[in-house]
Amino acid sequence: MHKGSMAEIHYANGVDALKAREHQRAVKYFTLAINESPEEKGQYFNESAAYVNRGMAFAEMADFQQAEQDFTSALEQNPGNPVAYQNRGFIRAKMKHYTEAKEDLDKAIELSPSYAQAYFSRAQLHDVQNDRNNALQDYKTALQLMRQQGQGHSEYAIHIERKIAEYERSVSFDADKEAQSSATKTKNYSNAELGVSFPVPKGLVLYTPDNPGPLSSLFTPGQFIYLVNPDFHDENIGATFSSGVTEKDLSNFKKLMDTNPPTASLPGYKKISVKFIKIGRQIDKLAVEHVFTMKGNMSGTVRQVVFIHKRRAFSFTCATAQNRYEQANSRFYGPIFSNIEFK
């Protein structure tokens, strides 16, 4: 049985600190691991991974120059490390070194063609350079890979969907005026199979798998509605469901959001609140509400509401710009959760 070396012990402590978002402590432990003698590192210690993780900690503290140096050191240890290329490319894009960033991200994808995060980072790079066609292609590839890898309902995937929707709407909405007009006339949403219904707030366009309009690529299994404000395309509500869950799973979900939310890995994530609320016309359906903000290309405020009905977990993700959240919550989000009915 392998006994961990001192370097491996320091490395494990650093990983725990990084997961806990204690970045200075993570840097301390990764530095201790890297600085150990060859004897204390042992044959199993992965020095390239230690540099990558320390670089990620520096990046979270916005020390981009030191992060870049660490990712370069990781590549000196292991020139075939796609994670190091992806992270260095992401940081170089942050530093506006776009040519070098593109080279790094291309190399990460060459080394690991199924690396969803590399496609996502390259999409963001295309985004800041206003290369919308290549950005859309890379966003779609990243989302497809996430779905293939069982991450299609993750928060990251949901926000990539938002970005794809933004691009597709900007191209297609003007050509879809008739469909918009028809969809806008929809006053109520009702789904007998799922057992949910609610009035559609005035000002939102309803899209469903049967009437997807310009959002057809976003309707995957489990995605049953999109509601979009046509005047502010980033103001939208997406709703998904998954089967085979119980009320106990709702409590477990709240615990996860309280302690280690998957959304914590999103750029600039900041939790505002996680709490139980009651929703529905009778105010009798228990739900978990998770409100958070993000920065970067996916900046905005998100209100996620999750509840259980008929052994299905429903997740409504309501997103808008930070300066529009209170208005959107009052005009759109709140009325839906106050008036939703369960059958």
| 243 DSSP 8-state letter | E
pLDDT in tens, 4-17: 688 889 999 999 99
Which domains does the chain show, CATH number per domain?
A: 6-162 (1.25.40.10), 180-342 (3.40.1000.10)
Are the beta carbons of 45 and 11 closer than 8 angstroms? Answer: yes
* Residue 333 binned pLDDT confidence (cut-offs 50, 70, 90): very high
* pLDDT above 50: residue 1: no
Spatial distance between the Cα atoms of 194 and 208, rounded to a whole number of angstroms: 14
What is this structure's pTM? 0.57
> What is the rounded average pLDDT of the residues 93-118?
95
Which residues share a beta bridge with 292? Answer: 271, 302
* Residue 91 binned pLDDT confidence (cut-offs 50, 70, 90): very high
Three-state SS at 341: strand
Alpha-carbon distances, residue 309 vs 25, 161, 277 (angstroms)? 42, 25, 15
Cα 74 off chain centre by: 26
> What is the rounded average pLDDT of the residues 296-308?
85
Spatial distance between the Cα atoms of 216 and 209, rounded to a whole number of angstroms: 7
pLDDT in tens, 162-203: 788 777 766 555 445 445 544 445 589 999 999 999 999 998
Spatial distance between the Cα atoms of 127 and 135, rounded to a whole number of angstroms: 6
**Of 34-38, 73-77, 321-325, where does mean pLDDT reach its minimum?**
34-38
